[in-house]
Amino acid sequence: MREQLYRKLTDKKALIGVIGLGYVGLPLVREFYHAGMKVMGFDVDPEKIRKLKAGKSYIEHISSSLIKELIKSGRFEATDDMKQLNKPDAIIICVPTPLSKTRDPDMQYVEGTAQAIAKRLRRGQLVVLESTTYPGTTAELVKPILEESGLKAGKDFYLAFSPEREDPGRKDYTTATIPKVVGADDKASLELAKTLYSQAIKTVVPVSSAAVAESAKLLENIYRCVNIAMVNELKMLFDRMGIDVWEVIRAASTKPFGFQPFYPGPGLGGHCIPIDPFYLTWKARQFEQPTRFIELAGEINTHMPEYVVWRLMEALNDQGKAVKGSKVLVLGLAYKKDVDDVRESPSITLIELLRQHGAKVDYNDPHIPRTHRQREHDLRMVSKDLSEKMLKGYDAVLIATDHSSYDYEWIVRNARLVVDTRNATAKIRNGKSKVIKA
């Protein structure tokens, strides 16, 4: 079985299944397609399947022309029928791993997917989990569920973990060129997983176990989370001291060694950094080991939207206005510049906090024409078109995402007050007296 699957992979005759056609799964579909392989995409959202079959993309950096090409080629099929999971030779799981309201791992999507696979699992299939999770998930959660089929991992089927490293909107690296870490708990599974990804990804990095691969992903994101928390804390301190944290970072960055710049913001966004560190803190409690750095970083970062709103309230107060009843325009709904991704975006929290304080809030985002229902949020808003008259009608403009398409000079010129959380207005020549950094 192992030799047969190996040959199918290297001959590019294997059928690849991708479960979860979002910001991780759809780029993988693209890369395996470009590698000349056949791909089946699975998703429980029938609307996504309908759009894909119609040749339409719902992710900004995946073009509809590519989706049409995929469909027309005959080498891609999108379906919400999980009964077809017995067809692929290799199955890659790319489903969400959110946190519960108590910041515990919510594994319902991984569990449900593993159960769906177990019902159709056949001998010789390879299953790879990509969803970011705590160390031990592959061995302690996914493997037992799959083995309920009566088949044994490493003997009858193969199981591995390979963390996703997607960064939507990035130009210098793509899914194909970002090195791919792969870990498994038996030699056959590791070799087959390496072979699978080597067909579409330029560099594959094998590690000794699934747990090492799971931990590597968490380390990457905890590293960023802790350092961002540090500069966010310094931002609040330096603001009190009358020091521009952005200028401090620029100065420190001139050192050619021993320093890497991280930048403050209105809070953490995206699926990874706000969530992944807490998967490790949860697991660490099982070993009675405190994770104080991670927990402190999480406390600081989750507090940032409240700090931004407090700074906005101070700025309005200086103009003799209360936030209650004030009109506030939030610029940027996406969690970072130049993307359409709103997962865990601090802009969502900012809007909800401002509403709680009685503000009348609108938003503009050229990448997100309207909001959509999320697991924890449903803003029901439509992006407002920018104009001179429109900007002048707001008591404050809050820059939450520094999209490149914004003309910040023009925005500041026409706004009454600008609260800048991203240092987006650093290069404007006029109107700096209207700008408050937050």
In this structure, is residue 189 part of a structural domain? yes
310 and 361 in a single domain? The answer is: yes
The answer to whether position 216 is within a domain reads no
User: Which residues are bridge partners to 15 per DSSP?
Assistant: 38
Compute φ and ψ for 229, nearest 5 degrees: -60, -40
State the average pLDDT for the chain: 94
User: Which residues are CB-contacts of 152 (< 8 A; sequence separation ≥ 6)?
Assistant: none
* Average pLDDT rounded to a whole number, residues 127-131: 97
| pLDDT band with cut points at 50, 70 and 90 for residue 207 | very high
Do 25 and 120 lie in a common domain? yes
For 241-281, how does the pLDDT look when each residue is reduced to its tens digit (9 = 90+)? 999 999 999 999 999 999 999 999 999 887 777 787 888 88
CA pair distance 304, 236, nearest whole angstrom: 9
Average pLDDT over residues 32-41: 97
Whether residue 124 sits in one domain with residue 82: yes
What is the identity of the amino acid at 394?
Answer: Y
Residues 100 and 129 in one domain: yes
Query: Over the stretch 277-287, which tens digit does the pLDDT of each residue have?
Result: 888 888 888 89
Identify the band that residue 100 occupies on the pLDDT scale cut at 50, 70 and 90.
Answer: confident
- The reply to whether 140 and 271 lie within a common domain is no
Residue 197 in any domain: the answer is yes
- Is residue 272 flagged as an active site residue? yes
Are residues 313 and 194 both part of a single domain?
no
CA gap 218, 222 in Å, rounded: 6
Question: What is the C-alpha separation between 147 and 115, in angstroms, rounded?
Answer: 10
pLDDT band at 188 (very low <50, low <70, confident <90, very high): very high
Is residue 165 domain-shared with residue 255, that is, in the same domain? Answer: no
Residues making up the chain, counted from first to last: 438
Q: Are 233 and 174 within one domain? A: no
Domain boundary among 208, 234, 261: 208
Asked whether residue 87 is assigned to any structural domain, the reply reads yes
- What is the CATH classification number for the domain harbouring 259? 3.40.50.720
And the tokens for 369? 């024409």
- 213: in domain: no
H or E stretch including 181? strand 180-183
The confidence score (pLDDT) of residue 128 equals 98
pLDDT of residue 379: 87
Which residues touch 176 (CB under 8 Å, ≥6 apart)? Answer: 31, 34, 200, 201, 202
Nearest C-alpha neighbor of 177 from the set 34, 307, 36 = 34
Encoding tokens for residue 130?
A: 């990509």
- Mean pLDDT on 146-160: 97
CA distance linking residue 190 with residue 351, whole number of Å? 46
DSSP-assigned beta bridge partners for residue 259? none
| Residue 217 placed within a domain | no
CA pair distance 141, 138, nearest whole angstrom: 6
**Domain containing 259: what range?**
224-437
pLDDT of residue 104: 84
Q: How many domains does the chain have?
A: 2
Tell me how many degrees the CA angle 133-137-139 measures, rounded to the nearest 5: 150
pLDDT, residue 53, reads 96
Torsion of CA 265, 269, 272, 276, to 10 degrees: 80
Residue 344 has pLDDT above 80, yes or no: yes
Same domain, 135 and 241: no
Please write the tens of the pLDDT for every residue from 225-245. 999 999 999 999 999 999 999
pLDDT mean over 391-410: 97
pLDDT band at 101 (very low <50, low <70, confident <90, very high): confident
In a domain, 161, yes or no: yes
Q: Is the pLDDT of residue 103 over 90?
A: no
Tokens 């750095």 belong to residue = 293
Please indicate, yes or no, if residue 219 is contained in any of the structural domains.
no
Same domain, 283 and 155: no
The pair of structure tokens assigned to 58 is 């719902």
Q: Among 208, 236, 251, where does a domain finish?
A: 208
| Cα separation, 157 vs 432, whole angstroms | 63
Instruction: List Cβ neighbours of 270 (8 Å cut-off, separation of 6 or more).
Output: 335, 336, 341, 343, 344
| Residues 163 and 257 grouped into a single domain | no
**Residue 199 sits in the same domain as residue 235:** no
- State pTM to two decimals: 0.91
Of 157, 174, 208, the last residue of a domain is 208
Point out the catalytic residue in the list 107, 110, 182, 272: 272
